Each structure stands twice: as C-alpha cells, then as structure tokens.
Amino acid sequence: MKTTGQVAGIISNIVIVKVDGPVGQNEICSVYLGDTKMMAEVIKVTGDKAYVQVYDSTRGLKIGDRVEFEGHMLEVTLGPGILSRNYDGLQNDLEKMDSLFIQRGSRTEPLDFDATWEFTPLAKAGDPASAGSWLGEVTEKWIKHKIMTPFAMNGQYTVKSIVPAGTYKTTDTVAVLTDTDGKEYPVTMVQRWPVKQAIKAYQEKPRPTRIMETGVRAIDTFNPIAEGGTGFIPGPFGAGKTVLQHAISKQADADVIIFIACGERANEVVEIFTEFPRLDDPRTGHKLMERTTIICNTSNMPVAAREASVYTGMTIGEYYRAMGLKVLILADSTSRWAQALREMSNRLEELPGQDAFPMDLPAIISNFYARAGLVHLNNGATGSVTFIGTVSPAGGNLKEPVTESTKKAARCFYALSQGRADSKRYPAIDPLDSYSKYLEYPEIVEYLDGRIEKGWVDLVYKGKTLVQRGKEAYEQINILGDDGVPAEYHERYWKSELIDFVILQQDAFDATDANCPIERQQYMYNLVLDICDKSFRFGEFTQCTEFFKQLINIFKQMNYSEFKSDKFEDYRRQIDQLVEGQVSTPKEA
C-alpha cells in the first residue's frame, strides 16, 4: 500500500509533507493541486515530516492538499528510440507537448511504445545472463542498439527462451530468464533505472588509455582529453563556451552525443534545436541529430528540474556505454545546476558554505564526474562515457566555489580567457592556464607515441614553454617599449604568436579549418616548431614584426586549404622560401 500524506508547509518549491507511513530519501511522490498531479522528490526526512522539492510551480497549493508517495526513486525509461529526441530534465518528450510552454503537471511518454523494431537475437536458450548481458539488438538510426538484461536484476540467470528474428514492439516480451530457483522473468526492450544511481553492469573500470579526438587543435594538440575522461570549460559570459561545445559535439570521435542544456537561456537551446537537424555528421555521412539526444532545461523552467536534467543525461549515457559505445556528454552549464542546489539548500535552512553554496558541493560534483569513464563490459567489449561540462563563474572569477570544486574532480581544465575573446582569438582557451592531467598518464603517453609520433608529449611541453617565454617577452616589451629591448625579445614574442595564430586559433565557420584531423595537427605543429627552432637575423624589431606577420598570413591561408592539396603545397613552398631568406644559423640543440 502506498504511503500518503498532507501538505503541512510550503517554501516556494519546497513542500513539507506530514506522512502516515515510511518514505525514503530521493523517493518520488505526487503532489495534488485539484486534478493536477505534480511530480516531486523527497530531499530530507525528519520524523513524520518529509521535505520534497516540486518539479512544477507551487502557486495555488495550500495546507492539507493530498500527497501520494510512489515507492521508487526518480527513474528514466531506457529503450530503443531515445536518439534524436528532445527531453526535459524529467524525460518528457518536448515535441509531444501541446503548448508553447510546459504546463503544470503535464507529462509525456519518453518513448513511442507503439513503434516496431527489427529484433535480432544475440543469445540463445541455455546461455548464462546477468545484469547488462546482451540478449539481442535492434537498429536505432544506424547504431546497433543492444537489448540487455535489466540492470536491476542482480545475480545469475539463464536464458530460458528468446524470440526469433522479426518485428516486435518495445513492450513485447523478447526473452524469458530464469534464476537459480527456476523463477521466470520476462524481458522486454524497455527497462527503468533511477537516475541518481550509477549503472555498474561492467567488469572493471580502468584508467583511460587513449585520447578522444575532437578536431579542435587547442584541445587535441595542447591539452587532449581521454576517451572516458572528464573535462570542464569555465569562462565569463560571451567567451565562447557554447560555441566550443557545439564544435566538439559535431566533430568528436564518439558514437552517441548527449547534450544537456541545464539552465541555459532559451535562445541558445533553440539554436541547437534548429542547427543540429540540418548538420551532416562528418564521421558517418548521416545527420548529426541521428546520434544525438538533447536534455533541455532552460532558465525559465522550474529550478528544481535542473538537478534532474544532469542526472538524466548521465544515466542515458551510461545506458549506451553498456552497449559498448563511445558516448560524449556535454553539459551547459553546471553552474546553473550548482545554483539550483544552493537554492534548495537555502530553503532547507542548511548551514551554508562559501558563497552560500551547500557545504557538500565538492562531494556532489565529484560523485557526478566519477560516473564518467572507460569500462570493460562482462562480455569483453569496451564502452566509455566522456563528460565535458561548462562553468559560468560570475565576472569570470575562476576562484569561485563551483570552478574550484570542479577542478578537484575533472582531469582537463579549459579556461576561457576574456582577453582572448575580446581580441577575437577563438577558441578562447588560455594555453597557459589550461591543462590536461592525462598528459601525465603513462598509458596516454604510450598511446600518443604510437598514434602520432614518438616523444609527442615532449613536443607539447616544448610548445607550451615557447608560449610562456613569448608572454614574458611581451610583458617586457610593454614595460620598456619596442626600442627598449633587444630584437631577440621581439623574435621570442612573435614565435609564440606564430603558435597562437596557427595552432591555437581556429575558424569554426570555415568548412576546412573547423575540423582538423590529428594527422594534419601533427604536420602543422611540427612545421611551426621547426620554424621556432631556427634563429633569424633581424636588424631592428620592425623587420621581425613584418616577417612574422607575412608568415602568419600564409599559415592562415594554409589552414583554410585542403590538407596536402596543390594549394596547400604551394603555401608550404612560400613558407619555405620566406624562412630561408631570413634564417641565419640553427640554434644549438
């Protein structure tokens, strides 16, 4: 029998319920406002009082209104048909909504349960099975969507029967499993899983061993992110966080993209809705939206649902990871999620931490980021979830609590600089403040030695040193003036500018330059470093400036040319001629 209760107090979206039976932490309940049924989640239990956060507006709710507890946590529905859909944080299909705005209490089915799928069995009668075992597959868009033993089924089972290849609905029984006592369990193509529990249907979760190529030079060359790794992009408003995430989602080496718009402005989300269905996927030739799912919770939607949206996106990502797929999850912005946590914490009158955020904010963020990773499944296959979030610190202050807490959890830090954005140096990733801890992993170093070239990480550090020395030279020139420093200071500065303009900057609106394959990155980076290794003869600083400006202009045209085309090779010859005319003697090694 379900536990019921009555509203005993209301604090905005927090409702205090006096209950007549047992309730659990994170249990879902329904708050009734007349005939309207509003979903809520238990966030605190004290005696016979349960504090619940309502995922709708509580306007009009009054003391004594009925509440009914559902006996389970907030769950998502997992099955074929998730890809290409636009959900809100509670997995309501937004395209099925009747009105322009989400009506209070409105709910839609996340999947089309009447749709049919061509099922192909992968298991046979007598096979052993456990949580996450592949029983069969259907083709979702162009991806092989595995039908698995429900993750909630603990222990060992045996496949008693499985349907032959054919067309079935998602709700049809496709297999029957038996446990050690002989009890039968029918399995359909659909299962449910609580969003705040990690899916652990795998054998082990090792450290990442390879990088995820994004086509963005400032990431792949200078600060690569591992497949199954974590990273985040902090930066002030207008620095290009959303555009950078869009570029990564279009070009990254991933099978499935999950984009979580958490508390973002509606116009940015509309851009995703309108742009993604038109874009061609450069990896597959299909439409990009065919392998993308969008979890949309904009700033004008209920604040409480922001928290649900990030967990919903991560759970769907873990589901596809259990199929042996490479999943990329992008969240924009996790600051809005943290602000929702702060709002709930303040309404519960909890002891505040720095800037009034919850005291346990670092633990909440760390636990969430820990759900990403590379896994070895029980059948020997490999799947991964790579997570990249953005943080929107007020005024670009990278010392605020959300940024500091995320730095402890994420392994890649892509700091967007307001100065670089103002000078139109996009992507505005600061090459000196940003870092990738994966460059310290022996597994990643070994992978890069084989994938690109031997000693590649040393070359990366060499480039970073040149940029650092260029910055120091620039500061000296600013203090002493152009004529007050030797010409070699100008040379040092312009060599760092060469790396900046050719490698770190990239045109997201050019068809060729937007996506830079790793082979091209290697070629261009080695070419730039080779020039930086040379010593040039300049009589005065104006010669140095003019020479490097010409060189950068040719390199920029080279970046816009198809790799190793006739035009590309012609620009290469122009560079060689320009450099040979100015070079003196190579520096001592």
* CATH number of the domain within which 152 lies: 2.40.50.100
| pLDDT value at 284 more than 80 | no
207 lies in some domain: no
3-state helix, strand, coil in the chain (%, to 5): 35, 25, 40
Which pTM does this prediction carry?
A: 0.94
92 lies in some domain: no
Q: What's the pLDDT band for 275 if we cut at 50, 70, 90?
A: confident
Whether residue 332 sits in one domain with residue 250: yes
DSSP state letters, 79-133: STT-TT-EE-TT--BGGG-SSSSPPTT----SS-TT-EEEEEE---TT-EE-TT-
481 lies in some domain: yes
Q: What is residue 267's predicted lDDT score, i.e. its pLDDT?
A: 67
| pLDDT value at 54 more than 70 | yes
Whether residue 238 sits in one domain with residue 157: no
| pLDDT value at 291 more than 70 | yes
Q: What's the pLDDT band for 280 if we cut at 50, 70, 90?
A: confident
Whether residue 423 sits in one domain with residue 287: yes
List the structure tokens of 127.
């096979």
Whether residue 429 sits in one domain with residue 316: yes
**Domain end position, chosen among 50, 74, 98:** 74
DSSP class of residue 274 equals H
Whether residue 264 sits in one domain with residue 368: yes
CA dist 257 and 143 (Å) reads 12
**CATH assignment of the domain containing 38:** 2.40.30.20
- List the beta strands (DSSP E) in 149-198: 157-162, 166-169, 175-178, 184-187, 191-194
Whether residue 394 sits in one domain with residue 296: yes
Whether residue 470 sits in one domain with residue 521: yes
Q: What is residue 584's predicted lDDT score, i.e. its pLDDT?
A: 73
489 lies in some domain: yes
30 lies in some domain: yes
CA dist 263 and 180 (Å) reads 47
Q: Which domain holds residue 181?
A: 109-189
* Count of domains for the chain: 4
Query: For residue 540, with 0-12 CB atoms within 10 Å meaning exposed, 13-18 middle and 19 or more buried, which class applies?
Result: exposed
Whether residue 244 sits in one domain with residue 312: yes
Whether residue 171 sits in one domain with residue 53: no
More confident call, 85 vs 267: 85
